[in-house]
A and B are shown apart, each in its own frame.
Chain A
Amino acid sequence: MSDLKTHILIVDDEPQIRKFLRTTLTSHDYQVSEAEKAADALKALTVHPPDVMLLDLGLPDGDGLDIIKELRGWSQLPVIVLSARGQEQDKVTALELGADDYLTKPFGAGELLARINVALRHSRAGNQPQQSCFEAAGLKVDFASRQVTIDNQEVHLTPTEYKLLCTMVKYAGKVVTHGQLLREVWGKHSTEQGHYLRIYMQHLRQKLGDDALNPRFLITETGVGYRLKS
């Protein structure tokens, strides 16, 4: 990487939150710019495009969701949504509109940095040829041979389970909504049959030997979707 610092745009109307984010991020060597309103955010996005945007959904002059909608018309830059607990529907909507991830307020610095890292990794990987295999926490998926191993033990998956796992791997570290999974694994018209997904996910967990009580690979993001640890 060059000596150019990674640039993060913070869009939030609360000065205290911006201050916390700015201090934390600059101390971790990020370059930070801030916007208070939706209009400022859109201007900042065009004038000096950031590498990642942290976006609060409740802005005084407009809905954060509209910014995502507009942005996705011309840019794939990673967007991490900031919102409160209980606003799961907003989170899901934001993710379906193209946001990359979310953070539930209040959140800690560790979580913030981890999410930013995942988002950056995905956006950089997007510009490179696809990896031939994925490896994390003892789980290995070899895309060429369609082989899945856990701690070097082969796991046999049905085609649907394999497709489900590959989709989770594609977004490793990021949250994937139920709707996204249903569309990518079962096709466009399956979004009404959410219970399929739960059952296949349960099967997949069992085959991967993953304990839902203390998951090693697949985390349930209640009300939103699933996340594969990376």
Chain B
Amino acid sequence: MSAEPLFRVRNLQKYYPVREDDGLFNLNFLGEPKQLKAVDDVSFEINRGEIIGVAGQSGCGKSTLGELLVLLQGATGGDIQFRGTSVADYTAAERKAFRRECQIVFQDPYESLNPRFTVSQTVTEPLVVHDIGDAAERDERVREALSDAGLSPAASYLDKLPAELSGGERQRVSIARALVVDPLFLVADEPVSMLDVSIRTEILHLFEDLQEKRDLTMMYISHDLSTINYLADRTMIMYLGDVVELGPTRSVIRDPAHPYTEALLESVPMADPEQGRVGTDRTASDIRGDVPDPVDLPSGCRFRTRCQYATDRCSAEDPTLDDFDDGRQVACFYPVSDGDA
């Protein structure tokens, strides 16, 4: 494994200005202009060849993070370094080259494909955009990509329209489209959550194989910790724009350090009628209250309003992501684990 991380993200921010029509000055309690802090000062690294999982509830910023990393959205602060160079320094040509090396697969198989394009057109498009190969070469690469994505025999799929395919097949086409340019990095944003549970397995297997055979680095975004547990080497837990825990998946899942991680694990579904949900003795109802309004975040630690361990310190200071134990980082003053699991 190469020492240089593929991505180095430092203090990444994505803030959206909020305009409300209540006639006031759109200022929050402290007199600052109101903003939605979708991604708030996030720092981490992604190593070559690993699958990093990003988990959290809806609205935690994980999808935004994925889009920021593939430059689908522009960051409002912070820095992303890809292979040692900051993306902010890219020329137009370098940017385009970046887009070839980093791809993304979205959640909705029904909306991810142009309804008027055949499978062949969809998967060929990246090759056209980057002017790769001639007609024959492109044909070859498209067939290979379709086959790698599990659509076999590739030839029978080429002329199909999305409407003729099942959800699982469409998702594979999206994956083939991402693979056809031989990318280094793939963001998968909830790729299986809209698929039948029985089909998810195949897609998960596919990602595993891709990591192995193509040395593909991946960011796998999901709210379902059981699929992240299966797939990811390291895992990042996000809450309202912040990373609250980050570390080897095994440690994070087996021995959660942050109270939110603990709570999240409580809600993971289990296909075992004799066990309730996995986790500690706490039940999900121990998370008190609703998720706070992301525009009006609580002072200090943003999880404190729902955390049963919160103290005064938690409303006064906002914990930063600090080293916890071997390879792990937690943003909490009172981690619920002893570490070194």
Do chains A and B interact in one complex?
no
